[in-house]
Amino acid sequence: MLTRSGAWAVLVVVFAETALPAVGVFLPGDTLLLPAGLACSLSTLGAARLSLPLVLACAGVGSLAGAQTGFWLGRRGGRAMRLRRPGSRGEARTRRAEALFTRYGPRRAVLLGRFVPVVRTLVHPAAGLLGMPAASFTLWQSLAGIVWSQSLVLAGYALGESGRHGVAYLAPVIGAVVAAGLLPPAIEWLRTRRAPSVLAGADRDAPAADGRPRPRPTPDGRAPSASDPGRA
C-alpha cells in the first residue's frame, strides 16, 4: 500500500479508519503508521523512501478529519440508529457505546478510545450519537489524534534510523502496540465475566428475609431438607 500510494495511503486509510465504522474496523491503523515512519528513514533507499514531514502531515490530517467526520455522522444519524428494532446489531452497538461513555465519561472515552483498535473506529460516531458537545469533542479528539498519529510515525522513523538492528524489531513493536491497545478491553471483559459470579456468591451468603442464615447446599448440590441433621 505504501509502495503504490506513498503518504497519501496514510491519509486515506487513517481517515477511513477513524470516520467510517462500516469499513474502518477492517483497515490498518497502528500497523500502517509504524511502517510509514520506517519508510521515511535513511535506511530506506530509492523510490520507496517517503518524506517524513508529508507522512506526519497526512497522518495528522487524516486522524483529525476522520474523527470529526465520524462525530458528525453519528450526530446526523443518531435518530435513525436509536429507532432500529430491538435486538438488532445496531442497537447492541448503541448500548455498548452508551456503557463506554457512562463508565469513563465523554472526555476519557474519546481520549482512551483512540488508542484501542476497533474502539478507535466506533468511539467518534458514538460521541455524536450520545450528544457530546462539539467543542469538547473537537478539543479532546484533536489532542488524542495528534499524540496517536505522530508518535507512531516517529517511532517507526526511529526504528529505521537505528539501522538494520532496529528494523528487525518492527514486527514485534507492531505486535506490542496492538496488544497494549487490546489490553484494556480484555481486562474489562474479564471483570464483566467475574461480576455475575461475585454477585451470585454475595446473594448466596446474604441472610434470608427472616434474618436467619441461608441453608448451605449438600455435597450433591441439593438444598438441605427439614429432616437433614445439619439444617440447624
Give the span between the Cα atoms of 91 and 86, in whole angstroms.
Answer: 6
40 close to 89: Cβ distance less than 8 angstroms? no
Query: Which residues 6+ apart lie within 8 Å of 205 measured at CB?
Result: 214
User: pLDDT by residue for the chain (232 residues), tens digit each?
Assistant: 777 888 899 999 999 988 888 777 677 777 888 888 888 887 666 667 888 999 999 999 999 999 999 999 888 876 555 545 455 555 666 677 777 788 888 998 999 888 887 788 888 988 998 889 999 999 999 999 999 999 999 988 888 887 655 555 556 655 665 555 555 555 555 665 665 554 445 455 555 555 565 555 555 545 555 555 544 4
Q: What residues contact residue 143 under an 8 Å CB cut-off, 6+ apart?
A: 111
* CA 86 to chain CA mean position, Å: 25
